[in-house]
Amino acid sequence: MKKTILTAFAFLVTTFTFCQSNFEWQIKESFKNTQAEIYSKTKLFIGTTWKSAIDVIQNDDKDGGVILVKGLSKTGVFAQLGATYAYTYSYNVTFKMKDNKYLFEINNVKCHSTTGSSFDNKLLIEPHDQENCPYSKNKFGLKCNQLMADLKLELQSIADSYVKTMSSVSTENGDW
């Protein structure tokens, strides 16, 4: 049983990695759980993944089987030319569920805010300055590429953790 789960997990991760385009993830999985069980595991996952589930859940439709989470990632504090820059990215995570299957999506990843200050604490960039958000090809070069790699790694970690949570065996018989 463990070998089957590990093989399925490895297959999912491999497929997932090659299907990913830019900052969008989508995982579809079928298994023998009711919508209520999937919903319960998903809510537990959200509660353990984000600091405040109440703050990040934007839509929670138990009957419809949809939960929408809006998250933030503080990424990429780095120094350049006597200044320090910090970037915050926002993203959506959508969980859809029905009996015997779920759909997990991360999308709408974008720079939410940028701040920059000089070493003498003068504010160089006002928060929410979209003009200074780094993306894969801009004036920040290699540091920007590392920033994007770190962000992708963080979002991939959320996806991997969700798959692992959903594939974990439930102990519903009360023997914990």
Tens digits of residue pLDDT in 17-69? 333 346 788 999 998 899 999 999 999 999 999 998 889 999 999 999 999 99
Asked if the structure places residue 89 within a domain, the reply is yes
Q: If DSSP codes are grouped into helix, strand and coil, which group holds residue 57?
A: strand
Q: If DSSP codes are grouped into helix, strand and coil, which group holds residue 33?
A: coil
pLDDT digits (tens, 9 = 90+) for 87-131: 788 899 999 999 999 999 999 888 777 776 665 555 555 444 445
Asked if the structure places residue 151 within a domain, the reply is yes
Asked if the structure places residue 53 within a domain, the reply is yes
Task: Give the Cα separation of 54 and 42 in Å (integer).
Answer: 14
Which span out of 77-81, 153-157, 171-175 was modeled with the highest average pLDDT?
A: 153-157
Predicted TM-score of the model (pTM): 0.73
Asked if the structure places residue 30 within a domain, the reply is yes
Asked if the structure places residue 175 within a domain, the reply is no
What's the total number of domains in the chain?
Answer: 1
Q: If DSSP codes are grouped into helix, strand and coil, which group holds residue 148?
A: helix
How is residue 125 written in tokens?
A: 């960039």
The CATH code of the domain that includes 117 is 3.30.530
Asked if the structure places residue 71 within a domain, the reply is yes
Name the amino acid, one letter, at 124: L
Asked if the structure places residue 173 within a domain, the reply is no
Element (H, E) at 41: helix 35-49
Residue 166, C-beta contacts closer than 8 angstroms, at least 6 positions apart: 29, 31, 33, 38, 41, 42, 45, 102
Asked if the structure places residue 149 within a domain, the reply is yes
Q: If DSSP codes are grouped into helix, strand and coil, which group holds residue 104?
A: strand
| 116 strand-pairing partners | 85, 125
At 172, the pLDDT band (50, 70, 90 cuts) reads low
